[in-house]
Chains A and B, each alone.
Chain A
Amino acid sequence: MSQDRKAAIEDFVQRAHKVLDQVSYYRLLSIPATATEAQVRAAYYKLAASLHPDVHGIGVDPAYRKKLTAVFSRVAEAYKVLADSTLRARYDRELAEGSVRIGMGADIKKKKHDISDASALRFYKLGKAALGDGDYKSALMNLRFALQKEPESKSIKAALDAAEKGNA
């Protein structure tokens, strides 16, 4: 593989990893919302041919490999959802409500949070996701927004505490 192509893939992985929980499946695959199933597959295959660890993951450092795997698996998830008409219809509905990942809304509900305000919930989800990725700066920002919208929420306060500890 040429140095240029390697650098280009690395750049994509680093950028995509930062915004993984903020971009839609469409943006991740760089396709319009009107893309046909064949276009979805073609976009996925093109990315997979670059991102698959068998091609690009040999001899890279473990921290980068983790990011690469996270990006690759989200790209694969985007394809699985968008190439299936039933899942895609459900995803489009959830996306309109602000969820960039399928099923994430349902997951958070199961976790028994105490948030009722929709935009607080959205920032809370983004904050939790950033927390999961160890991106404490982004977690702090999103959780503080969430707390502004719903200052009494214990769930937001607890998550914010964790983010503050991580950032310290």
Chain B
Amino acid sequence: MKRSIGIDLGTTNSCVATIDESGKPSIIANKLGESTTPSTVSLRSAPGSNGEPPLVGAPAMRRATTNPAETLYGVKRLIGRRYDDRSVQALAATLPYKLVSAANGDAWVEVLGAQLSPPEVSSMVLRELHEIAAAHFDDTVHEAIITVPAHFDNAERRATADAAEIAGLKVRRLLNEPTAAALGYGAHRGKDQRLAICDLGGGTFDVSIVNVEGGIVEVISSQGDLFLGGDDVDRAIMQKLLGELRSDHGIDLSEEPTALQRLKTQVVQAKHTLSEARSASLELLHLGELSSGKFLDYRRTIERAELNDWVGPVLARLDAPCKEAAARCGLSPKDVDAIVLVGGMTRMPAIQSRIASIFGRPALKVVNPDEIVSIGAATQCAILDGLIEDVVLLDVTSQALGLLSEDGNYQQVIPCNATIPTREHRIIATSKDDQRELFFEVYEGGAAVPAANRQLGRFVCRDLPSAPAGEVMLLVEFTVDVDGILHVATSELGSGEQRELRLMATAGLTRAEIRRLR
């Protein structure tokens, strides 16, 4: 039997699921018997030094306190990004590990004197999940479907696919998380309706409006806040408590990474406890030095009402993406038939009630909000294998794609939110007599001018035939495949000579680098 798995490669936690012969999905528990594995990697020796292998998951988390600079978490927020990106710079200030700029300008991490690309770090998490699945099957894993945020651009998708390849996984498809969540929730089996999928994870908040009708699952719009998530809740609590420590005890922990990490660990635990209980207690012995020279044994009880008060500004930011996602398909939030909550942070009661008040109805009960994305990815395996019939997913592109020709004319080729797969062409021509080379550039982003968008690549077509200006024409074809990755091909009109072009890496890893890392 073919062994297929679905992977939710999360910012904070990851999860793997599979399907049985009848196409029924189930979670594969890790070695500790847990359904999710922290997306944390801790390096014990320099990468490539053949020393002790890296730790992944809970054992890696435990090293976060003792070896913060070698313990990498939240790398998904760096994957496919540039070092000088505003968001990366903001993140760098809050991370206990070091970020550096790679030769091509990508954001990399530096650990134990060696530089690592984010896809390499993610590949370590994927390798662990791969091993969990192989141990479960006692067999080889043949292929995987990996989920990515709907807003991921071309570079981020490519980098995720690269990470899987380094981990030795054959990627059948990259699937958008909200689409996976709709499937994981079982939308394809239910009645025809319009769902709002609200996914609040560690780092991002995504809202998608999904239409379900006769086996067709169509994502009609997606909106998100890239910088809103559980981390913001943690930060709000931390800031409050650090402020109290300063004012009540005269202790400043901002330059004490180990103490900060200890406090953070308990804050996260307390946050989880408060989703179930009315209050949670922190206890940290010898947290910091008092002016008297003695050490403070810190004890603090947090009430749920207090927490809700502190995170008020975070909650307020949930409104805009929900309203915008509905408005983009001509709806008011109240027109949505049902709400599905995804991601660990949606366990927080204040978040549930805020979302309920935006849409004017309570969310559906989902037993395990952290599992449904990977269950959905496994379900998609079953659909592609024909184990589940008459279900079709209609997914959309996350970013507009455009073409800048030599004469400075910029045109959009594929709009944002186009249903994939999609295929479109433009014709460009020489502008001078006897011009033997023609270049064009490909951009991603919705702005009308290329400078405000992100350049994906620059192509040069050489050895064109000698002819008067305008007579040599090239057909440039853009294809965005079912996994949202762009392919560009050109052919010379007339001669029909094909030139398949790989989108040249102005960012990301090269093929040679990926092979070396495997």
Contact = CB atoms under 8 A, between A and B. Distances in A.
Given A52-B392, A110-B409, A162-B473, A76 B214 contact: no
Interface stretch (B163-171, B288-296, B317-325, B423-431): B423-431
Nearest to B385: A58
A49 B423 contact: no
Nearest to A139: B493
A107 B216 CA distance: 33
Nearest to A107: B411
A128 B427 CA distance: 9
A70 B418 CA distance: 13
A77 B418 contact: yes
Contact of A48 (B216, B473, B496): B216
Interface in A125-157: 128, 131-132, 134, 154
B213 A41 contact: yes
Given A69-B423, A166-B496, A54 B384 contact: yes
A84 B392 contact: no
A158 B427 contact: no
- Interface size class on chain B is 20 to 34
Nearest to B216: A45
A55 interface: yes
Contact of B425 (A52, A58, A132, A161): A132
* Interface magnitude class on chain A: 35 or more
A14 interface: no
Interface string A52-77: 11110010000000100110110011
Contacts of A18: none
B393 interface: yes
A132 B394 contact: no
Nearest to B417: A80
A73 B471 CA distance: 30
Interface in A99-124: 107, 110-111
A5 to B, nearest CB: 12
B394 A48 contact: yes
A76 B493 contact: no
A134 B330 CA distance: 38
A53 B421 contact: yes
B377 to A, nearest CB: 14
A161 B384 CA distance: 45
Given A53-B482, A54-B383, A54-B482, A132 B475 contact: yes
A49 B390 contact: yes
A52 B392 CA distance: 7
B145 to A, nearest CB: 12
A132 B34 CA distance: 54
B216 A69 contact: no
Given A53-B482, A76-B418, A110 B471 contact: no
A82 to B, nearest CB: 13
Contacts of B418: 73, 76-77, 80
A162 B392 contact: no
Contact of B471 (A66, A69, A79, A162): A162
A166 B421 contact: no
Contacts of B496: 134, 166
A84 B330 contact: yes
A162 B493 contact: yes
Interface in B141-196: none
A44 B392 CA distance: 12
Given A45-B216, A166-B493, A73 B390 contact: no
Interface string B11-47: 0000000000000000000000000000000000000
B455 interface: no
B479 interface: yes
Given A52-B394, A54-B383, A69 B421 contact: yes
A17 B390 CA distance: 25
Nearest to A159: B473
Contact of B419 (A49, A76, A84): A76
23 contacts: A41-B213, A45-B214, A49-B215, A49-B392, A53-B421, A54-B383, A54-B384, A54-B392, A54-B393, A66-B479, A69-B422, A72-B422, A80-B418, A80-B419, A84-B330, A131-B473, A159-B473, A161-B494, A162-B471, A165-B494, A165-B495, A166-B494, A166-B495
Interface of A: 41, 45, 48-49, 52-55, 58, 66, 69-70, 72-73, 76-77, 79-80, 84-85, 107, 110-111, 128, 131-132, 134, 154, 158-159, 161-166
6 closest A-B pairs by beta carbon, nearest first, are: A165-B494, A76-B419, A73-B422, A162-B493, A162-B494, A69-B423
